[in-house]
Structure 1
């Protein structure tokens, strides 16, 4: 789930490159229910990594805030289901 403090990114847009402002994050593929297993990616000393499931290329961009992405639509924030009143 996205509430763990680790940024989650999705690629519903089908872009080949997502710039991210974090060196550790999760790739979920497309938004649920069409997501793939949520993959933890740690760039470490690298600036790029490819998701082994969806082949999205992630590139670290230090100009972006932690948890931010470019394009912005690739930031995924899990929203809890509405509770019944």
Structure 2
């Protein structure tokens, strides 16, 4: 079992891309009824990843921390890994 928490992100406003400060995360789509199955995404050595469900482009920004996002407010919550 992982010893860290995985941030969950949602895109209620329908932004084409969201900058985040982590490379491993979950995408949940948006608030119900526009959510989708929680999709674990790992950028690996890349700096971007597209969610296969909602097509949100996530971009890694090392200046951000934890659940910070640009644009602000796209963060959902942390859940135990």
- TM-score when scaled to structure 1? 0.81
Runs of 5+ unmatched residues, structure 1: 79-85
Moved >6 Å (runs of 4+): none
Any residues of structure 2 matched to 1:6-85 within 5 Å, and which?
Answer: 6-77=6-77
Quick check: which has more Rg, 1 or 2?
A: 1
Query: What is the number of equivalent residue pairs in this alignment?
Result: 75
Superposed CA deviations along residues 9-49 of structure 1, whole A, max 9, x for unmatched, are 10000000000000100000012343100100001100001
Runs of 5+ unmatched residues, structure 2: none
Helix, strand or coil at the partner of 1:29: coil
Give the root-mean-square deviation of aligned CA atoms.
1.6
The offset of 1:77, in angstroms, is 2.3
- TM-score when scaled to structure 2? 0.84
* Larger fraction in helix: 1
